[in-house]
Amino acid sequence: MAVLFAFIVCVAPAHVFYVTIPNWPMSLQDQYDVLVSLLLLRYANHAVNVFLYSLTGAHFRCEDAAATANEQSPALVRVRFTCNMLLFAERSVLVG
């Protein structure tokens, strides 16, 4: 969900600008400046995706949960089992 939200925030302004550009009384230099800014916003989306995928991926969530659980707690066993099942499911989808 975070990746989708970042995509919409970073890409939607460019599409709005492309559709409405004929109606804006702007000089060519101003249009160029806006287009460069929108292109940088698109590149920012790609840069942010790396972090969003790593933070929202099952592997990261599992390692974070295992790191915060107490070593003697039964909750750690459940966390490890759940993480192993999630990671197995991810690999099955990628392979199959």
What digits encode the pLDDT tens for the residues 38-85? Answer: 999 999 998 988 888 877 776 666 666 556 655 555 555 555 666 666
- What is each CA distance from 40 to 11, 13, 22, 33, 34, in whole angstroms? 10, 12, 22, 11, 10
Residue 26 sits in the same domain as residue 45:
yes
Residue 50 sits in the same domain as residue 72:
no
Instruction: Please tell me the predicted confidence (pLDDT) of residue 53.
Output: 80
Sign of CA dihedral 72, 73, 74, 78: negative
Query: What pTM, to 2 d.p., does this model score?
Result: 0.54
Comparing 15 with 86, the larger pLDDT belongs to: 15
Residue 7 sits in the same domain as residue 48:
yes
Comparing 46 with 96, the larger pLDDT belongs to: 46
Comparing 86 with 17, the larger pLDDT belongs to: 17
Q: How many domains does the chain have?
A: 2
Q: Which tens digits make up the pLDDT trace of 12-37?
A: 998 888 888 777 788 889 888 988 99
Residue 6 sits in the same domain as residue 17:
yes
Residue 14 sits in the same domain as residue 47:
yes
Residue 2 sits in the same domain as residue 49:
yes
Q: Is the predicted pLDDT of residue 5 greater than 80, yes or no?
A: yes
Residue 11 sits in the same domain as residue 30:
yes
Residue numbers of the domain that contains 66: 57-96
